[in-house]
Structure formats: structure tokens, C-alpha cells
Homo-oligomer: A and B are copies of this chain.
């Protein structure tokens, strides 16, 4: 079934998910790492549905890596809520593919929307390669010449920042022998002041992955806090590994009622 025209969208794939209690925090809201995990898993299931394109990738020595998430959260899914996760390959250019994830409640209201930038990495050299078109063809996304730019990420204010070390643990490493991208959220969230975590809920996230971290590394999680407007703050993060920045992020938080 060929698609026509020039619409910025590709094949969609949907699945239902009952939010597990262990995926939730003290507020009984789904945690960011749990949400990211289930979304990325859904794109993996789409790949399998379209004929195990991920296996074809590894046969060529390639792997998908995630470069950036730009997330808008209207309402975090709640414990035991049945949500629908939708994923859609949007478009791709020479070096990147763009994919949307959406989460809907049972009345089909949108809870979360995420624009994700993927790239193809050579597993041996750990370097990015050009997008191989036959590998993305099954998703029927549009080829574009431009880049989709995510909002600029504001830098940590080092004058006011706090810093917390984390050891990269065995269970942080996945079947691709690499740190699952959701783990960075553990390091960032767990560095934020408890008063913010308890009294605010996530409104948006913009995160950019710059460098891989490996088993045994001791990373440093930096965070500074900015007032955005009344009842809204932004936590500004970076993860430092061996004096290089591995990941940067801005998270906005909205005061709970």
C-alpha cells in the first residue's frame, strides 16, 4: 500500500498500556523514565510488526540511537490508568529520523506528545552514519531536506547549581550493551530538590544526548533552578562524565493544586 502526496506523516502504530503502580512516583503519576521506556518500546514493536527492521539494522552493524526528546505533557498518566501509546515515523533527512510519540487517555484526550530525533550509529565505531533509506522505507515517512530544530537548551547556572554523583550500575546497561536513554532521567530527577518533586508536576522536557556513558563511570548530575512565572519553575540539567557533557536538559514544572 503506497502512500501519496507530501503529508508530514508516516505509518502509525498504537498499543494500550495499563500504567503499573511500580511505574509511578509518590504522587501516583507515571515517572518520566517509565514513560520514555514504554514509548520507545512501542516503536520497537512497530519495527517488529513491519518485519523486524531492527534485526536488519544489527545485521548491518547499525543501531538506532536517540539524540533528542522534545516533550509536551498536558497530564502525566496516573497509576492503573489505561492509556494508548501511539508512535508515528514523521520524516527523515540525511542524518536524522523524526518520530512522534503520543499518549492518550481512555476518552482519547492527548496526555503527552513527544518529538524524538533518532540517528543511525555504527555499532563498532560508535559513530553516526548516514540514514540508509531501505531501512527506513517500511515506515513510509517523508524524506525532507531540512532539519527539524528542537528548542534551544538553556545552560546550567553553575553559580547556583548543585551536583550529585551517580555510579553507572550493571542494571543500567541494556541488551545493546549501552546505557538505556531513560536512565539519564533517573540521574536528573533524583538530583532535584524534594520540595519541587513533591509539589510540582512535569510540564515539558527538552533533552539532548551528546555522548555515551559506560558501565562503571561515575557521572555527575548538575542541576540549577529558575523561576519561569508564578507557580512554574524550570530545572536546568547537565550530566558530566569525565569532564565532558554527556547530556543536557531543561524540564519545566507546574505547581500542583
Interface residues of A (CB under 8 A from B): 18, 20-22, 24-28, 31, 33, 37-38, 40-41, 44-45, 48, 79-80, 169-171, 173-175, 177, 180, 182, 186, 189-190, 192, 194, 197, 215
Contact = CB atoms under 8 A, between A and B. Distances in A.
A51 to B, nearest CB: 15
B41 A171 contact: no
A200 B175 CA distance: 15
B41 A175 contact: no
Contacts of A37: 20, 22
A171 to B, nearest CB: 6
Nearest to A172: B190
Given A20-B37, A37-B20, A26 B173 contact: yes
B194 A25 contact: no
B80 A174 contact: no
Contact of A190 (B22, B27, B44, B171): B171
Contacts of A79: 175
A28 B175 contact: yes
Given A170-B194, A171-B189, 5 more contacts: A18-B45, A20-B37, A25-B175, A31-B171, A170-B189
Nearest to A29: B175
Contacts of A194: 170, 215
